[in-house]
Amino acid sequence: MSEDGIDLIFPDLRLPDEAVRLQAQARLDSLTKPVGSLGRLEEVAAHYLAMTGSASAPSLDPVVFTLAADHGVTTEGVSAYPQSVTGQMVKNFVHGGAAVNVLARHAEASLCLVDMGVAEDLGKVAGLLDRKIAFGTNNFLREPAMTREQALQSIQVGMDLAKAACADGKNLIAVGEMGIGNTTASAAIVSVLTGQSVEAVTGRGTGVDDQALKRKIAVVQQALALHHPSSSDAIEVLTKVGGFEIGGMAGLMLGAAIRQVPVVLDGFITGASALLAVALEPRCREYLIASHLSQEPGHRIVLDHLGLDPLLDLRMRLGEGTGACLAVTLIHAALKVYREMATFEEARVSGSLPQP
Phi, psi at residue 145, to the nearest 5°?
-60, -35
Span between the terminal Cα atoms of the chain, in Å: 57
320 is catalytic: yes
Name the helix (H) or strand (E) containing 193.
helix 182-194
- Could you give the CA distance from residue 227 to residue 329 in angstroms, rounded to a whole number? 41
Find the catalytic residue in 320, 340, 345, 346.
320
Q: What distance in Å separates the CA atoms of residue 70 and residue 83, rounded to the nearest whole number? A: 7
Pairing of strands 2-3, 6-7: antiparallel
Task: Give residues with Cβ within 8 angstroms of 95, minimum separation 6.
Answer: none
The contacts found for 87-91 with CB under 8 angstroms, 24 or more apart, are: 87/118, 87/119, 87/120, 87/122, 89/178, 90/115, 90/118, 90/122, 90/128, 90/178, 91/122, 91/125
- Catalytic (active-site) positions: 320
